[in-house]
Structure 1
């Protein structure tokens, strides 16, 4: 049986979610008066407050803010597997310098974050907070003409594979058997902990396991892309980058991967709603051709 893999590498801000453009008003201004700019600003600021509160209250952000790492498992070698059920993260002395002992303490925090992330916010927040969060999501999705839910739907389709996408990038063997694996990876320029919280708040946590979330804040997009290529290296692996910024565009070009530029302007071609796995399939085809051509 042939085995193929499509790896989709997504940017977060102004790609899967809109936040900065809500807060600074540029998203609404592009609609030439048909959207209330101040409403978008207020929505964005409410999201900021939610993100910071959950980061600080539940995910050690005040303690680790100056220790941003590119992914949660980066310090796994320092984690001795200690049972953290009764561990007091407020009294373990974590802080400078960045020696082996403090790397172990940071690794403990990363493990705890991964466990909380996997359980989701419903295991952390009370009913009033969950209701407030859910209502804000619905208001934001409506304000952005369903950008958030459309982005999620596209991710879901990519995760399971789209028939049109598969037909354009994958051939079958003589027995007609082809196993196609589809993987969504997030590479964000934001710091790691707030980016993980954004995944949870914007209903993306089930589509991006914590081990598939990378922060390029310290190391840059190209380094993250290189790690991802090493992780998923193989003869039948294809990569595609989807984002709105110059850095992921240049990094994708350096890796010779297709790049799909997202633009929230109402007249743009690649935006949500609109972008589909079939569109991404065309980019795969342009760079990789069909599998028969690639394998010869």
Structure 2
């Protein structure tokens, strides 16, 4: 059976989630007076407060802020697998990991962070706190005309590859079309932000079950290419900034620029798998001639 892998490389900020544009008013300004700028600012400040508090209270951010790594498994080789159930993270003398001992201590923290990420917010907070976070999410989603929920739904569509459900059926790990070509779909996240706040944002904005911690903060597109290196792998980058655009151009990958303006089709809601498929076809050729699903 033939297999094609499609890797969707997502910028986080101002693409999958909106935060900076709420805080500086650019989201509301794009609507030329229709949106309440002050309300957007208040929502952004509430998100900032929760992000910072969760980083410090649950993810060791105060301890490891100066030990930023590109992805959560970057220290795995230093982890000796010790049982951490009774480990005292406050008294282990951890400092920036210049030697193997401190690198091991950082690896322990990364292991705990990864486990908490996999377990989700419901295992970190009680019902009262979850209700607060859910209310903030829903209010922000309503204010942004369902940008958050639409982006999340689109990630689900990308993983399923279900541009046209009548043409394909779900199979284990991908999509099988009528010509027995197996299509595997992967979402990867890129961000210029620090690792821990980025993971917390994924949790708060309900992206954690669509972006695994292994696919978090990969700053260099070259790393992504090396990680998924195969002649049958196709890449597409989606983001709002010039950095992602230039990186995609350097890699000769299709790039879709997300636009906040309500008249744009490259936004949420608005962006469709058919549009993404068009960008794939420009770079990789006509998918129909290669037993693709689109």
More divergent stretch after superposition (80-89 vs 158-167): 158-167
1:275 is the counterpart of 2:271: yes
Distance in 1 between residues matched to 2:36 and 2:241, nearest whole Å: 26
Where does residue 129 of structure 2 map in the other structure?
A: 129
Distance in 2 between residues matched to 1:97 and 1:164, nearest whole Å: 50
Please, which of 211, 214, 217 is the counterpart of residue 214 of structure 1?
217
Cα distance change of structure 1 residues 97 and 59 upon mapping to structure 2, 3 Å threshold: closer
Is the 1:165–1:281 Cα contact (8 Å) retained in structure 2?
no
Where does residue 195 of structure 1 map in the other structure?
A: 198
Distance in 1 between residues matched to 2:280 and 2:164, nearest whole Å: 12
Please, which of 232, 247, 253 is the counterpart of residue 251 of structure 1?
247
Is the 1:185–1:208 Cα contact (8 Å) retained in structure 2?
yes
Where does residue 11 of structure 2 map in the other structure?
A: 11
Where does residue 259 of structure 2 map in the other structure?
A: 263
Is the 2:176–2:183 Cα contact (8 Å) retained in structure 1?
no
Deviation at 1:268, TM superposition (A): 2.3
Distance in 2 between residues matched to 1:274 and 1:21, nearest whole Å: 18
Where does residue 285 of structure 2 map in the other structure?
A: 289
Is the 1:162–1:278 Cα contact (8 Å) retained in structure 2?
no
Is the 2:259–2:266 Cα contact (8 Å) retained in structure 1?
yes
Distance in 2 between residues matched to 1:41 and 1:129, nearest whole Å: 22
SS in 2 for 1:33: coil
Distance in 2 between residues matched to 1:69 and 1:189, nearest whole Å: 12
Deviation at 1:228, TM superposition (A): 1.2
Is the 1:191–1:215 Cα contact (8 Å) retained in structure 2?
no
1:176 is the counterpart of 2:188: no
SS in 2 for 1:157: helix
Deviation at 1:164, TM superposition (A): 4.3
Where does residue 72 of structure 1 map in the other structure?
A: 72
Deviation at 1:293, TM superposition (A): 6.4
Structure 1's consecutive aligned runs of 4 or more residues displaced over 3 angstroms after TM superposition are: 163-167, 291-295
Deviation at 1:162, TM superposition (A): 2.1
Taking structure 2 as the reference length, the TM-score comes to 0.92
Where does residue 101 of structure 1 map in the other structure?
A: 101
Where does residue 54 of structure 1 map in the other structure?
A: 54
Deviation at 1:76, TM superposition (A): 1.1
Distance in 1 between residues matched to 2:134 and 2:218, nearest whole Å: 26
Q: Per-residue CA shift, 1:245-275, capped at 9, x if unaligned?
A: 1101000011100000001112223111000
Gaps in structure 1 of 5+ consecutive residues? 217-223
Please, which of 224, 227, 232 is the counterpart of residue 223 of structure 2?
227
Is the 1:133–1:201 Cα contact (8 Å) retained in structure 2?
yes
Distance in 2 between residues matched to 1:271 and 1:252, nearest whole Å: 19
Please provide the CA RMSD for this pair. Answer: 2.1
Distance in 1 between residues matched to 2:166 and 2:274, nearest whole Å: 9
SS in 2 for 1:93: coil
SS in 2 for 1:149: helix
Distance in 1 between residues matched to 2:246 and 2:29, nearest whole Å: 28
1:204 is the counterpart of 2:180: no
Deviation at 1:294, TM superposition (A): 7.3
Q: Per-residue CA shift, 1:201-222, capped at 9, x if unaligned?
A: 0000000010010153xxxxxx
SS in 2 for 1:214: coil
Is the 1:165–1:277 Cα contact (8 Å) retained in structure 2?
no
* Count of matched residue positions in the alignment of Structure 1 and Structure 2: 285
SS in 1 for 2:183: strand
SS in 1 for 2:101: helix
